[in-house]
Amino acid sequence: MKGLQEKDFQNHIQNYLVNHGYVKGYTENYQKEYCVDEKCLFDFLYRTQPESMEHLESIYRENTRNYFMLKLSEAIKEKNPIKILKEGIELENKRFLLAYFKPYSGLNNEIVALYEKNIVSITDELEYHKERKFRLDFCIFINGIPVAIFELKNEATGQSYAHAQNQLKYDRDPKEELFKRTPVFFAMDTREAYMTTKLEGENTFFLPFNKGNEEGKGNPIVDGKFATHYVWETIIQKDNLLELVKDFMYVDEERQSFIFPRYHQIDAVREIRANLLSNQPNDNFLIKHSAGSGKTNTITWTAYMLSKLFINDQKLFDSVLVLTDRVVLDKQLQDNIALIDHKSGVVKTIEGKSKELADALNNNTHIIVTTIQKFGHIYDSLKTLNGKRFAIIIDEAHQSQTGQYQANVKRALNKEDVDTEDKVLAEIKKLGKADNIKFFAFTATPKKETLEMFGVHDESDNTYKPFHLYSMKQAIEEGFILDVLQNYTYYQMYYKLVSKSNETLLVDRRTAKRDIRNYLNIQSIAEKVPIIVNHFNDKAQYLLNGKGKAMVVTESREQAILYFFAINQYIKDLKLPFKTIVAFSDTVKVNGTDYSEESLNGFKSGEIPDKFTSDEYQILIVANKFQTGFDEKKLVAMYVDKKLKGINAVQTLSRLNRVTKGKTDTFILDFKNHPEEIKQAFAEHFLGAEIPNEDYHEEFLDRAYERVLSFKVITKETLTDFSKEFFSKKNYEKIEPVLQTAKDRYKALSMEEKKNFTHILQKYIDVFNYVKLLQPMKKEEIVNLYLVSINVLKMTETEEDTNTLLRTRRIQEISDVVDIQTLGFVKKFEGDLELSTDEELESHKLGLKSVSLAEENIASLDDLLNELNQDSATSELAIKYEIQIKQIMDELNGEDTILEVVKRKENKYEDIKGALEGLISGNIMPRLKDSFYKEFIKHLMKQKESKVRFVEKIAQNLYLKYHE
């Protein structure tokens, strides 16, 4: 008894399609010369356009069919089959349509009848070659025109989709006319499906066409069905296939290739449409699609679908607006929709004055593309257009912007790095929600606030989730992006700080700690530069045939400039063939000199991306620029000297994940972020991010209301008196005493009570700001407490600042009062930050924003330095052997065996470093038997990294001494 054969799988698919609206085709009806199914073609034409066919017959008589097929073949060859199916061809002053599509609205019997006469057919074992009996498993035709080819394999016979791919790669001649004009090819088995839109022999590239399994690659097992059943039951189902041709498929004329959507793109657009047409449509939609998902095309198809969506013959949206920071999206969106629709005027880009926008809205322009900077004005305008409805698509481009608008949003959100999501949320927060607007937010890494605002509330587990998901895990496993955590190295700084002052200095803890850490960061640049450059030189630059590039991420503009000078000097000293670019905003003064990007780089800021992608430059040093929205595919290494948290860590490190030919590895070397912190940040977005709803609920505000009043700083009388004046006359003169009374009560609290009070007050304000966006605030006392709280909190902060200023002094120059006795770095981790186990990924439920308790503001400088020393990675070993290390280096500087190698002018730095390692281990260390060195040598023998750094330090000093 035979098992399941490939033919059984093939028959199953064919039988299903024939039983669900397809027509069975036969290979003898296929005209190899013209690449059409003659019977299906003319059956369709005579059913739908008999008069036009009769007109053609009156001219060409018995040659009518050959003439038509010849002209059709020429038209397809000149244009493409998708365009011909949409537009038809003109012969003898008659327009012949090659397909009828469902109209977007106003279905009537005549149109339905014509649509139903489309012939979608499947021909198995199609013999396509003119001379040899080469056969395809099956080919799909629309009215005789080929639109899809399938090669099938059955795992039960020991073959898989990979064998099908090889068949299409090596057994199908790309020069064959049928293959040049067929839009899509599927290589498929019973478990997985892959597709390509262009056969190029061994260079044919296949894209996964799978649903995803547990948010990773592949397909889930389905009881009673093949895992790939969705391909024939859904994707190429008769109505759906015709819709794909009409609304999705087009030809990228620049690359001369067909565009066919990936599974998650089709699914996202159709799921959004189905929800909008349902009885209970969502208010907003969050589409969480990872980098590598093809977001620009998904936005294109979504915008086009929304612009054509009708309910009961009424257009659902008067206009669709696409908000973006990406200039390139404007043109892509216009071009792509033009290729789908073949009509002009569907998309309008608004760059100028408000009148352009007003005209576009009043004229019901289908799709309007504009920049995020105009969102506040747009949103306010849309709210006032009564009777009109709008869809707003938010493109998460995350490009860093400059100017006053950016500064305003930074202040509103109290953030340093602001992106598209932040800007939109800030404006909605300021202007309130609008009933006539629906949002469609596309993002790879949604923030908690974005999930709260645009996500779906799942009542089963009380969380907010994306409406549609294509996860980072699936994108990595399918090969669309790289796993940037596979080669992660963490260096921890060790140091010892002491005070130079003989007196007890009282300082503002937060300010002094920040200034001292900044001072440490700057002073440690000299230690970090050799680590960075040597790592890039040894491991990264050789990738991509020597064209690999690196990014150095710094904490501030000052640090970026200092890194720029230090790296350039180190490169020059070692005669390395690298060039750097620095990127930061505006102009900054460092050591008394003003610097800008242009003054340091020698070219304008706007040229940085193009210059960096050229072969001339290898290292890009950045300060709050290019950390998001920058897609340089040759970027293979990142050196991080900046604290990164949560989503900012994911977005920054993900600059490395873009795929290009030959790029298989990336490197991250981090001086600031503990591996577990990075792992946690990525775990939150590796799968489908979601946030718990528990605290972001009006019940929390009720509990917090009682908690705030329990301190007796703000009382019910305070709320009554404040609201009376605020809402009636806004008489600020009478409001001031009410607030001052609350402040006096606050002063009477103990230090611990003050901390707890300000903590709960801040938490109340934060939660109120989110809840009011999700639901109307009905309780008067809740709103009144919010209004009083924001004023009282400011007054308490003013008191704390005043006390701090009176009791402390600001250190003008850290170097005047702080001495760094020891400073260095030790490698603490190197390897793969693997995100794999269920336990590790449980953290993909994002935590809520919390407000930490305030520290005591005032501290003595000595106490603060002791506290910082405790935080340091200083090992007793490093401090203990500082003298020994210095003396060993002095001895080696006079060692003849080493000097002989060093003084040879032809020897490069790498030559000296390589020779030193052997000489030190074989000649020098065995002679250092004095107990003074014994423990240190023992340590070097055990700790390979310490020995490597030791050798590098000696090599660097000796090279610079004799090769300047």
Distance CA 218, CA 439 (A): 31
The answer to which of 377-381, 608-612, 660-664, 765-769 has the lowest mean pLDDT is 377-381
pLDDT at position 104: 87
Per-residue pLDDT band for 414 (boundaries 50, 70, 90) equals: very low
pLDDT at position 562: 96
**DSSP SS3 for 512:** helix
The answer to which of 169-173, 257-261, 776-780 has the lowest mean pLDDT is 776-780
Crossing angle for the helix pair 420-431 and 375-384, to the nearest 10 degrees: 40
pLDDT at position 935: 66
pLDDT at position 108: 73
Whether 843 shows a pLDDT value over 60: the answer reads no
Whether 812 shows a pLDDT value over 90: the answer reads no
- DSSP for 768-783, please give it: HHHHHHHS----HHHH
Query: What residues does CATH 3.40.50.300 cover in the chain?
Result: 261-470, 488-692
Per-residue pLDDT band for 558 (boundaries 50, 70, 90) equals: very high
- Per-residue CA distances from 113 to 51, 226, 240 (Å): 17, 34, 17
pLDDT at position 929: 60
Q: Residue 497: beta bridge partners? A: 820
In tens, the pLDDT along 44-64 reads 999 999 999 999 999 999 999
The answer to which of 328-332, 544-548, 670-674 has the lowest mean pLDDT is 328-332
Rounded to two decimals, the pTM is: 0.77
CATH superfamily of 261-470: P-loop containing nucleotide triphosphate hydrolases (3.40.50.300)
Position with higher pLDDT, 563 vs 327: 563
For the chain, how big is the Rg over CA atoms in Å?
34
Distance CA 201, CA 170 (A): 6
In tens, the pLDDT along 623-656 reads 999 988 788 999 999 999 999 988 889 999 999 9
Distance CA 805, CA 710 (A): 30
Distance CA 599, CA 589 (A): 12
Q: Which of 165, 246, 253, 166 is nearest to 209 (CA)?
A: 165
Tokens of residue 410, six digits: 């930074």
- Which residue type, as a one-letter code, is found at position 225? K
Per-residue pLDDT band for 818 (boundaries 50, 70, 90) equals: confident
User: For 210-237, what is the mean pLDDT?
Assistant: 94
| 248-252, 375-379, 594-598, 645-649 — most confident range | 594-598
> Residue 104 phi/psi, 5° resolution?
-75, -25
Tokens of residue 427, six digits: 């404006």
Report the first-to-last Cα separation within the chain, whole angstroms. 82
Whether 332 shows a pLDDT value over 90: the answer reads no
Position with higher pLDDT, 749 vs 800: 749
In tens, the pLDDT along 5-40 reads 778 899 999 999 999 999 999 999 999 999 999 999
Rounded to the nearest integer, the mean pLDDT of the chain is 82
Per-residue pLDDT band for 398 (boundaries 50, 70, 90) equals: very low
Tokens of residue 719, six digits: 């709320």
Whether 601 shows a pLDDT value over 80: the answer reads yes
pLDDT at position 833: 80
Tokens of residue 91, six digits: 């012969």
Share of residues in the chain with pLDDT > 70 (%) = 78
Segments of 290-374 assigned E as strands = 310-311, 314-315, 319-324, 347-350, 367-371
User: For 290-295, what is the mean pLDDT?
Assistant: 90
In tens, the pLDDT along 465-522 reads 999 999 999 999 999 999 999 899 998 887 777 787 777 777 776 777 788 888 888 8
Q: Which of 451, 458, 374, 457 is nearest to 770 (CA)?
A: 451
Tokens of residue 665, six digits: 């590895």
Per-residue pLDDT band for 182 (boundaries 50, 70, 90) equals: very high
pLDDT at position 257: 86
Q: Residue 367: beta bridge partners? A: 320, 347
Share of residues in the chain with pLDDT > 90 (%) = 44
User: For 701-729, what is the mean pLDDT?
Assistant: 83
User: For 41-45, what is the mean pLDDT?
Assistant: 98
**DSSP SS3 for 459:** coil
Tokens of residue 629, six digits: 């929205």
Whether 849 shows a pLDDT value over 50: the answer reads no
User: For 514-533, what is the mean pLDDT?
Assistant: 87
Q: How large is the greatest C-alpha to C-alpha distance in the chain, in angstroms?
A: 112
Could you tell me which residues come within 8 angstroms of residue 85 by beta carbon, excluding any fewer than 6 positions away? 98, 99, 142, 143, 145, 147, 245
Whether 312 shows a pLDDT value over 50: the answer reads yes
pLDDT at position 905: 66
Phi/psi region, residue 919 (left: phi>0; alpha: psi -120 to 50; beta: rest), is alpha
pLDDT at position 853: 32
Distance CA 265, CA 557 (A): 40
DSSP at 847: P
- The domain made up of 488-692 is a member of CATH 3.20.20.450: no
User: For 103-126, what is the mean pLDDT?
Assistant: 89
